[in-house]
Amino acid sequence: MVVQIAVIGSEKMVHEVMCLNQNKRIYIKPFIYEKPEESLKLVEEAKDYTVLFFTGPIPYYMAKEKIQEYNLPAVYIPFDELAFSLSLYHIQHAFGINPLKLSIDIPKKEVVYNILHELRLDTGSIFVKEFEDEINQHKYTDKIVQFHYDLWNNGETSFVLTSVQSVYNELQKLNIPSFRMMIPRKNMGATLEQAVTIGELLLSKSSQIAVGIVQIAEQHTQDHHDVKKLKVTIYGFLTEFARKMNASVKIVDEHTFMIYGTRGGVEQLTDQYRVFPLLNDLKEVNDVNINFGFGFGITVTEAEEHAQIGLYHAKKLNEHSVFIVTEEKKVIGPLNKKITKTFELQSQDERVLAVAKKTGISVSNISKIVNFTNLRHNHGFSASDLADYLQLSRRSAERMLKILVEKNYAEISGEEQPYQKGRPRSIYKINL
């Protein structure tokens, strides 16, 4: 299978990356921008490619939220010490530029200071602007150009080193002496290899076996007037669904169906585990609950075991629901919700394992709590908030939080009183 890589960057950089590729099993599609601010829109256009390859950190950070939203694999060429050293050497020996009166923009200013300290150069007249996540992403180029212009216009600097092609283009229009930092071929080649490795791994994963177990809640079918008609209706929906993912459907009994396909088919139809269109079709079957558990695995047996785990989680909800369990025992679901949750049934994270051991709370629940706090960016929450996320009773959530507070893994950071009557609720923060 061919690894399809979408290269997002300036025309010059995209061309250089494409010239590096000598592998016929790699297809590179260029997505060119004038300014890195356009990378967000280009991600939308390139999201169906195997891997996104950004020609620098800035366009990657510009589009990071969209990349995470779509769960897209992405890499970028780093601006590291090697890139800065080569650029500094070049302007000294090719242009005769004194390196002591510079303004520089770079994703991480430590890169600059590490090299300058190694060279024992005075940093007093060197001005460094690093990328800020909170910067206005619609006017990034303009902000950086203004930073350099003000310093140059005030006579504080005599030369600019920029890491952004669009900034260099604007500086040239203003006749400000400047140089676009060099990106070593070593860095480009290493990043391309990284993209190919990720792509090959994803393609091998997409051909993994996927098994789906679909079950009609038995307590509902006992009271259903026409079980056979219900079974035929659902089988029709499943057959059409399986056709779209090139899978097959098998009837197990009056309540259960099996779907056999590939991980790639499931990922495509669910838009990387975010939606499950079949649930919309099942809205007309509103007097019974249909539960789906999908599992991935190297073998059919492993995939079926994971599908059973997915079905177990789906059956806990009193509605049509879908859960997916990967070969790493990562549980994803329920699908078709505003927020799709992910948690681990097992963990290699020593911190999670240590917390679980010290508190007596399961590894699964500790992993869920970590994901919950990450989703909320560790903002304060109530026991009810946590209970809703974990799908537990409020009392169970309060019991867990009490243990975490006692073990110093959580703290009460305040109170809220959403209603005039009743006791105020404690607001918690997690310290994991």
Interval 300-357: pLDDT, tens = 888 998 999 999 889 988 889 999 999 888 899 899 887 777 776 655 567 788 888 8
Phi and psi at 56, nearest 5°, equal -170, 165
* Nearest alpha-carbon partner for 237 in 273, 275, 282, 271: 282
Query: Amino acid identity of 41?
Result: K
* Nearest alpha-carbon partner for 286 in 329, 214, 234, 326: 234
Please state, rounded to an integer, the average pLDDT across all residues of the chain.
87
Which tokens is 304 given?
């079926």
DSSP state, residue 330 = E
Please check the confidence at residue 224 and state whether its pLDDT lies above 80: no
Residue positions counted in the chain: 432
Judging by beta carbons within 10 Å of its beta carbon (0-12, 13-18, 19+), is residue 359 exposed, middle or buried?
A: middle
User: CA Rg, the chain, in Å?
Assistant: 27
Phi and psi at 373, nearest 5°, equal -70, -35
Alpha-carbon distance of 43 to 35, in angstroms, equals 14
Please check the confidence at residue 9 and state whether its pLDDT lies above 60: yes
Which tokens is 157 given?
């600097």
For residue 165, give the 3-state DSSP assignment.
helix
Instruction: Please answer whether residues 400 and 357 qualify as being in contact, where contact means their C-beta atoms are separated by less than 8 angstroms.
Output: no
Alpha-carbon distance of 121 to 356, in angstroms, equals 50
For residue 18, give the 3-state DSSP assignment.
helix
Mean pLDDT of the region 93-110: 89
Q: What proportion of the chain, given as a percentage, has pLDDT over 90? A: 52
- The DSSP annotation for 125-191 comes to T-EEEE--TTS-TTSHHHHHHHHHHHHHHTTS-SEEEES-HHHHHHHHHTT--EEEPP--HHHHHHH
What is the β-pairing status of strands 74-76 and 425-430?
A: unpaired
Please check the confidence at residue 420 and state whether its pLDDT lies above 60: no
What is the β-pairing status of strands 26-32 and 209-216?
A: unpaired
Mean pLDDT of the region 99-108: 91
Mean pLDDT of the region 75-88: 94
Please check the confidence at residue 15 and state whether its pLDDT lies above 90: yes
Provide the phi-psi class of 24: left if phi over 0, else alpha when psi is between -120 and 50, else beta: alpha
Instruction: Please answer whether residues 17 and 9 qualify as being in contact, where contact means their C-beta atoms are separated by less than 8 angstroms.
Output: yes
Q: Higher-confidence residue: 63 or 341?
A: 63
pTM, two decimal places? 0.61
Mean pLDDT of the region 11-38: 92
Query: Amino acid identity of 421?
Result: K
What is the β-pairing status of strands 102-106 and 159-162?
A: parallel
Confidence of residue 250 (pLDDT cuts 50, 70, 90): very high
Please check the confidence at residue 54 and state whether its pLDDT lies above 80: yes
Confidence of residue 134 (pLDDT cuts 50, 70, 90): very low
Please check the confidence at residue 294 and state whether its pLDDT lies above 50: yes
Mean pLDDT of the region 358-385: 82
Most confident of 26-30, 122-126, 413-417: 26-30
Mean pLDDT of the region 400-410: 92
Phi and psi at 214, nearest 5°, equal -115, 125
CA distances from 43 to 8, 33, 141, 144, 411 (A): 8, 11, 19, 23, 39
Judging by beta carbons within 10 Å of its beta carbon (0-12, 13-18, 19+), is residue 220 exposed, middle or buried?
A: middle
Please check the confidence at residue 133 and state whether its pLDDT lies above 70: no
